[in-house]
Chain A
Amino acid sequence: MTSTILRTATRYMFPPLLVFSVYVLFRGHHYPGGGFVGGLFAGSAFSLFALSNNVARARALLRADPRDVTAAGLATALFSGLPALFAGHPFMTGMWWDLHLFGTEVHVGTPTIFDIGVYLVVLGVLLTLVFGLGEEE
């Protein structure tokens, strides 16, 4: 599928979509959003790119194999549950810390890490399917 309009539009939409997907991921804890939707946004960005250019270029852009992204996401989600074990709580109990970074106070917790894992899994799963289908000749 080669359409100059789509390709040009994608070129301009791709970076904001990715940035937006990360924004959605992190705002999710307080406002609508989260890892699942964020991952879907990122996945659509890459899917649009694959559709308007080709799958090989989309793969090159992602650098990692989508299956590895999935695995990394699953591992991240799993490991986010471990700190609680070391603190003597049941697996996956949410733990929160206040960090002082660059002069501002940042509130981080294991659920955020878990959500990042979800984001990566959704992205990886989606692209495994999209790239796989797109490469079917």
Chain B
Amino acid sequence: MLPLITICLLAALAAPWVYRLAPKYTGILLMPAPVAMFAWLALQVPAVVHGHPVDQSVPWVEGLGLEAAFRLDGLSMLFALLISGIGTLIVVYSQGYFNGHLQQGRFMMYILAFMASMLGVVLADHLLILFIFWELTSFTSYLLIGFNHGNEEARTAALQSMMVTVLGGLFLLAGVVLVAEVTGTWRISELVAHSEQLREHPYYLPIIILVCIGAFTKSAQFPFHFWLPNAMQAPTPASAYLHSSTMVKAGVYLLARLHPALGGTQEWSMILTTVGAVTFLLGAIMALGQHVMKRLLAYTTVSALGAMVMLLGIGTEETIKAMSAFVLAHAFYKAALFLVAGGITHETGGETSVDRLGGLRKAMPFTFVCALLAGLSMGGFPPFFGFVAKENWLHALGDHPLLIAATVIGGAAYVLVGLSVSWKPFNGNPPEGLHAHEMPWSMRIGPLVLGAGSLLLAVFCGTVGHLLVEPAASGITAEAVHVHLHLWAGFNPFLMISLATLVLGAVCYRGRGVFLKAGRSLSGLVRFGPDAGYRQLLDAVLGFAAWQTRLIQSGILRHYIRLAVATATALVAAAFIRGGGLKGLEDLSPLSITSVLVGLLMIAAAVATVHSRSRLRSILCMGTVGFGMALLFTFYGAPDLAMTQLVIETLTVILLALAFYHLPPFSNSSAKRTRSIDLVVSIAAGAIISLLVLAALDVQNPTPISDYYLENSYDEAHGRNIVNVILVDFRGFDTLGEITVMTIAALGAYALLKLRPGKEDPS
């Protein structure tokens, strides 16, 4: 599986070049990547159906137990087939949609990279690998939503979706780390065996809350649903792919994946059912007041995701089967409708509102057929797969009258939205000035396959149930279940409920005006919604950042130095005192006259540095301090240090002399108070360093590391100068890091000196 994901990633990297070489055939040339994945998956279907998952793993960092482990079981298979299959159609569709668009290569790159990440999410069998791909989908989604980066709304929406999903991702990371902590394994497939242990552990509640926040942000569950409708700023092929059929289902997938390990408790069921049901109803009701095609579809997507979470939360075998079937049905009709919506907007010159569309049937007959197929499936009309899924769903809810009532309301909204997108634009009188033509062939394939698929899946629903839905449901329950889907299940109360939903929906569709008016009058409520909360939180964070920057970053070098030295001194002093302070001072070697004299000279020079009224004199005095230090180094047998110190002192004088040119005449401008603060800070810093050095004498390591260096310097590293051997050999890696830092610092200084506005680079 890793090679196939890699192929998709490579195709993503190659996309801009492919576009440059063959702009007309980019889609066709890139198509083999997703097709290869789809074909491989299709070949695995028989084995997986018979309960033989495919396991593959490549060791990565063995010491950390990190391995690129992948596993294809029934649940992964359903999602992976949808991702690669719809992905292929999207790639072809994008060819027509972006025809002549200069940035088509960039779009293809993003969408293929997204596909690879999404495949990684559903195929990963290692919690951390899953997390990595999870974050990659957030990132690629950010790029896709912000594709039209000239548009401010697109940028805001992209940032919002990334903030929300990445924040959720962090919660998820904490959750999976706890899971691994409790069970001692990172392998998802091994978690089932530890489910008992997980449920009884005190961490159980924190784990499910963290995991649920991760999944809910990704799958746009209430109260995190707001980013999804805003994400409709993405180009339509991306919306069709990410925000209907794949990425937003990652959260649902994750919950389903972890269901056997974490599910089956009251808490799990409570959280999922409540949040799912609220999201389901809220999304459906909010969809009623919309008139922009993509937003109509977006709110019903929120609603559908809620339904999936709700069905999973109830957690009976029947609801899990119904959920698996609904995932399949939803992916087909929703992707098809998005593609149709994109096609209409594309071919009418940018019209997005269903209320300003009509009579397109003549100009776009082919699109109309595809739209109708998908729209009827969405509404749950027989004989489409949406109907089959809805039947199963109602059956599964059996004894939950409240949830059945919710389903009827939601179902009616789906009928309204399905008809609004697939019937309204194509019938009635065309508004004036509306010119349209049929979509090009490349854009017809996707809607046709998906629309006709909604019908064919229903016709062959027995086989589909056996090959796709049954393995998926078995994957969720972690035991073999049997699925029998019927297009015609005989007369029963649920069929009546289903038909009543259709009638209610049709009535609502006739009375759409009421909902639009209500939607407009209630739009003020948005101010109190989570979207507004997000904006306020963001503003508050930015405000805090600005405030603390103003407070600390004065821009005056003196203040920075004072603050840095004072902070470091305070922290070191605190650690020093906590560590017990200064202990005995025995075994100090006697002071020699020479070192006392040098020390006194240094002190005198330091005092003179501060009191001098000439810069040159200050620098020379400071140089005296440095040369005195070098002398002390030679007294105590550190010639390397002494030599370096001497050269550094010399260079400092040269550098300062160069810098002098640019300084104003010397004046003692600091106030008395500032000078006393500086005095206190510097004395404290000096004192604490001296105390630290004295205390360091007292530290007794059982075996000092210097012994090792002394013994091995010549034998192992062929060098007699230990200092140098440590620098270039024993601790060479550190030195490599240090010279890198030096380089960065030099480049930074260079940028400050040279690259100011209005200056030319001399080189």
Contact = CB atoms under 8 A, between A and B. Distances in A.
Interface string A28-40: 1111111111001
B655 interface: yes
Given A47-B651, A51-B658, A114-B732, A30 B639 contact: no
Q: Size class of B's contact patch?
A: 35 or more
Interface stretch (B307-315, B622-630, B713-721): B713-721
Nearest to B656: A133
A116 to B, nearest CB: 10
Contacts of A92: 732-733, 736
A111 interface: yes
B658 A35 contact: no
On chain A, which size bracket covers the interface? 35 or more
Contact of A37 (B647, B658, B659, B720): B647
Interface in A58-86: 65, 67, 70-71, 73-74, 77-78, 81
A73 B739 contact: yes
Nearest to A116: B728
A70 B742 CA distance: 9
A43 B640 contact: no
A107 B743 CA distance: 30
B648 A40 contact: yes
Please indicate which of the listed interface residues B651, B739, B749, B754 has the most CB atoms of chain A within 10 Å of its own CB: B739
Nearest to A128: B746
Given A40-B644, A133-B655, A34 B721 contact: yes
Nearest to A30: B720
B620 to A, nearest CB: 16
B616 interface: no
Q: Looking at chain B's contact residues, is the secondary structure mostly helix, strand, loop, or mixed? A: helix
A109 interface: yes
Given A32-B643, A44-B654, A51-B654, A125 B728 contact: no
A5 to B, nearest CB: 15
A22 interface: no
Contacts of B753: 132-133, 135-136
B607 interface: no
Given A48-B654, A114-B732, A135-B762, A125 B745 contact: yes
Given A44-B650, A92-B736, A107 B718 contact: yes
Interface string A109-137: 10110110110011011101110111110
B763 interface: yes
Nearest to A134: B658
B651 A33 contact: no
A130 B654 contact: yes
Contacts of B739: 73-74, 77, 117-118, 121-122
Interface in B710-748: 716-721, 723-725, 727-729, 732-733, 735-736, 739-740, 742-743, 745-747
Question: Counting chain A CB atoms within 10 Å of each CB, which of B639, B723, B735 scores highest?
Answer: B735
B721 A30 contact: yes
Given A44-B651, A114-B728, A129-B746, A136 B661 contact: yes
B397 to A, nearest CB: 60
Contact of A29 (B644, B721, B747): B721
Nearest to B752: A132
Contacts, number: 142
A114 to B, nearest CB: 5
A28 to B, nearest CB: 5
A133 B754 CA distance: 9
A24 to B, nearest CB: 8
Contacts of A107: 718
Interface in B571-609: none
Contacts of B717: 94, 111
Contacts of B762: 135
A17 to B, nearest CB: 10
A31 B742 CA distance: 25
B666 interface: no
Given A51-B654, A136-B661, A78 B729 contact: no
A32 B750 contact: no
A111 B730 CA distance: 10
Contacts of A23: none
B352 to A, nearest CB: 52
Given A29-B725, A115-B728, A128-B749, A37 B651 contact: no
Given A30-B721, A135-B762, A136-B661, A35 B728 contact: yes
A23 B640 CA distance: 14
B102 interface: no
Interface in B146-196: none
B657 interface: yes
B647 A40 contact: yes
B640 A34 contact: yes
Contacts of A33: 640, 643, 721, 724
B148 to A, nearest CB: 38
A132 B721 contact: no
A113 to B, nearest CB: 9
B673 interface: no
Contact of A125 (B657, B721, B724, B743): B743
B558 interface: no
Contacts of A78: 736
Given A28-B724, A67-B750, A126 B651 contact: yes
Interface in B79-102: none
Contact of A70 (B644, B661, B728, B746): B746
Given A32-B721, A40-B644, A65 B763 contact: yes
B662 interface: yes
A133 B742 contact: no
A136 B662 contact: yes
B746 A124 contact: yes
Contact of B750 (A28, A114, A118, A132): A132
A96 B658 contact: no
A29 B651 contact: no
A49 B735 CA distance: 29
Nearest to A117: B739
A57 B386 CA distance: 81
A128 B744 CA distance: 11
Contacts of B662: 136
A67 B720 contact: no
Contacts of B727: 34-36, 118
B658 A133 contact: yes
Max chain B C-beta neighbours (<10 A), residue from A65, A70, A107, A125: A125
Given A40-B644, A74-B739, A81-B732, A109 B651 contact: no
A94 B729 contact: yes
A30 B728 contact: no
B557 to A, nearest CB: 16
A67 B654 contact: no
A115 B196 CA distance: 58
Contacts of B729: 94, 111, 114
11 contacts: A40-B651, A43-B651, A44-B654, A47-B651, A48-B654, A81-B732, A115-B724, A118-B735, A128-B746, A133-B655, A136-B753
The 3 closest A-B pairs by CB, nearest first: A32-B639, A125-B746, A40-B647
Given A33-B724, A67-B747, 13 more contacts: A24-B643, A29-B721, A32-B643, A33-B643, A37-B644, A37-B647, A114-B729, A117-B739, A121-B743, A122-B739, A129-B655, A130-B655, A132-B749
